[in-house]
Amino acid sequence: MIILYNPRSTRPRNRRLPLSVLALGAVLEGREDYEIVDGNLDDNPTGTILRLLQQREVEMLGVTVMPGPQMAAAVESCREIRRLHPKVPIVWGGYFPSIYSDATLNARYVDYAVRGQGEDTLLELLDALRGKKKFDQIAGLSFKDVFGLHRHNPERPMKGPDAFPWTPFHRVPVEKYLRPSFFGKRTAVHHASIGCPFRCSFCGIHAAYGNRERMENPQRTAAILRHVVTQYGADSVQFYDMNFFLREDHALELCERIAPLNLQWWCEARIDIVNKYSDATLAAIRRAGCTMIFFGAESGSDWVLKEMEKDITTEETLNLAKRIRQFDIIPEFSFVIGNPRDPERDTHETLGFIRTIKRINPKSEIIMYHYTPVPQRTAMYGNIDGQIAFPTTPDEWATKRWMDYTLRINPNTPWLARKTKDLIDNFETVVSSRWPTVQDIRAPRWSRALLKVLSAWRYAARIYAHPKELRWAHQFINLRKPKAESL
């Protein structure tokens, strides 16, 4: 038997379908005996796995691992499982081992790291464990040889979603994952593409999932969503694609197919791409149920956007903020602030830019992060090489210092002065109070009114320092923030 493990990554109220292990289950379905253990659903997933190991003959424990809380949970579980069952092969797959494959293999409790798309690699790895294939012939696999040295096989070419079977929804209690959100009472999730054709320098997606985007056929996407609606009563969906909209013809066809499902939905998209869409297409997107779109605006400085290789301009962002307002679609703009070249200038220009966005489209949701480069991209910034010594093991990544870095809560980057960091954090507190997020469906009306009243004078006077009264109010109200939903 094979165990597919999704370590805890979020609070129970925020859990969603474990798409990564379900994708692996899809290629195992009908050919292998397997079980899915989800730490977001199971209060004691390590105990569940240990019971399965005692009751059954387990050939492999496959663990999906994202940086942050899920990685820390994976470390805790795998360390204990290895102690009690040292002969069971433990395989890590997902974003963390794809980006940090050497650090992954430095853990004594990890035997293999699957980089990138894992479906075919999993099947071939099973053959190798059964003596039917050589480990060094498996594309996308990193492993330890007999001398303990790390071996990294060539990358595996990515395949589109259509190349693999449907999600085996019957393997999990779907109804427990359809949680309330701003978009509906029973929100599902779906991934309709893989890869990203863009080159943003601060992002590790290329290293994990390739520099081409392969999209699911609109007919199949609509069919899967129809199944989730009719069989499980979903009324909304969040699409987890890096770029849900790539081609206008594809977007139109998809919207025409899913419009009859009456779903409200959220997705991610590129500013430059959506800006090129016609008014008719944007109207069709709204009619199909699109309520909010996440856009990586990243900076209010054109020189930073150029350095990031973002391939957009601040003018394009402002045009989109103004244009999308007429279609009643809420834009969610994300900013990565504190560029190493000149963090003070980037910060001041971006904060002013956010104020401009709010003037053009007050409904815009704003998400702010501190600039935290991934290891693969630090070399492009000559002034930060050698300033960050990244962890070499999952255990070190799981410490508070590096968890804060991963989550961009308090990254302690050496180029960001304390006063600049405080300015970013204080500004975020004031803006999030002046315009409380619409995504917290629990917040009563009076709480939003209180935050707006308390913050109005600060925002108008541009006084952001020491917003103690606002932080107290946030603690009292416990207003949820979109970027903290995974904590």
**Residue-range domains of the chain with CATH:** 2-152 (3.40.50.280), 178-365+374-385 (3.20.20.70), 417-487 (no CATH)
CA distance linking residue 273 with residue 50, whole number of Å? 48
CA distance linking residue 274 with residue 247, whole number of Å? 10
| 167: its two tokens | 């999600």
Buried-exposed string 308-330: b where 16+ CB fall within 10 A, e elsewhere: bebebebebbbebbebbbeeebb
Asked if pLDDT for residue 154 goes beyond 70, the answer is yes
What pLDDT is attached to residue 386?
56
Band of the pLDDT at 486, cuts 50, 70, 90?
Answer: very low
Band of the pLDDT at 201, cuts 50, 70, 90?
Answer: low
Alpha helices by DSSP H, 106-240: 119-129, 205-209, 218-232
The per-residue pLDDT for range 59-93, each reduced to its tens digit, is 999 999 999 999 999 999 999 999 999 999 999 99
CA distance linking residue 383 with residue 112, whole number of Å? 35
- Average pLDDT, stretch 384-393? 74
1-10, 315-324, 387-396, 473-482: least confident range = 473-482
Asked if pLDDT for residue 231 goes beyond 90, the answer is yes
Q: What is the DSSP string of 64-96?
A: E--TTHHHHHHHHHHHHHHHH-TTS-EEEESHH
The per-residue pLDDT for range 336-384, each reduced to its tens digit, is 999 888 999 999 999 999 999 999 999 999 999 998 877 655 444 444 5
Q: Which helix (H) or strand (E) holds 6?
A: strand 2-6
Band of the pLDDT at 308, cuts 50, 70, 90?
Answer: confident
For residue 332, the tally of other CB atoms under 10 A from its CB is 19
Band of the pLDDT at 410, cuts 50, 70, 90?
Answer: confident
What pLDDT is attached to residue 376?
58
Band of the pLDDT at 23, cuts 50, 70, 90?
Answer: very high
- Average pLDDT, stretch 270-287? 97
Determine what percent of the chain is predicted with pLDDT higher than 70. Answer: 94
What pLDDT is attached to residue 381?
46
Q: Which helix (H) or strand (E) holds 239?
A: strand 236-239
- Average pLDDT, stretch 177-184? 95
What pLDDT is attached to residue 166?
94
CA distance linking residue 181 with residue 440, whole number of Å? 8
| 161: its two tokens | 């979603």
Task: Please count the CA atoms within 13 angstroms of the CA of 31 that sit on its side-chain side.
Answer: 10
What mean pLDDT, rounded, does the chain reach? Answer: 92
Q: Write the CA distances from 100 to 142, 410, 427, integer angstroms.
A: 11, 21, 33
- Average pLDDT, stretch 48-54? 97
